[in-house]
């Protein structure tokens, strides 16, 4: 059976790029770059920039792991390279 390895690689890199952009925006962006801007908003009594820097980013990273695993599974099935 012939697989579209170039298409699979392109789709995998695209997904990886999306994950890295989200990771960067949450960790560096929300925790450092935009912290002053986000600190005007309060979540649970704490400024949002502080909350992201301390624990919000961890929640996003855990959700990102599950989202990435689901999307990679979908890509594997789409390109017929999944494991049974």
Give average pLDDT by consecutive 10-residue segment, the chain, 84 residues.
81 97 92 90 90 90 97 93 82
**Angstrom distance (rounded) from CA 75 to CA 4:** 12
Is residue 50, in this structure, part of any structural domain at all? yes
The pTM assigned to this predicted structure is: 0.83
Q: How many CB atoms lie within 10 A of CB 38?
A: 21
> How many domains are contained in the chain?
1
Is residue 65, in this structure, part of any structural domain at all? yes
**Angstrom distance (rounded) from CA 77 to CA 8:** 11
Whole-number pLDDT of residue 67: 98
Is residue 28 helix, strand or coil? helix
Expressed as residue numbers, the domain containing 56 is 18-78
Is residue 62, in this structure, part of any structural domain at all? yes
Whole-number pLDDT of residue 2: 56
Give the tokens for residue 1: 């059976």
Is residue 71, in this structure, part of any structural domain at all? yes
């Amino acid at each position: 059976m012939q697989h579209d390895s170039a298409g699979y690689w392109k789709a995998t890199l695209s997904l990886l790029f999306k994950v890295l952009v989200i990771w960067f925006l949450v960790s560096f962006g929300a925790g450092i770059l935009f912290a002053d801007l986000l600190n005007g908003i309060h979540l649970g009594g704490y400024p949002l920039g502080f909350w992201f820097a301390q624990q919000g980013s961890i929640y996003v990273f855990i959700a990102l792991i599950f989202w990435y695993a689901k999307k990679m599974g979908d890509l594997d099935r789409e390109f017929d390279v999944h494991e049974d």
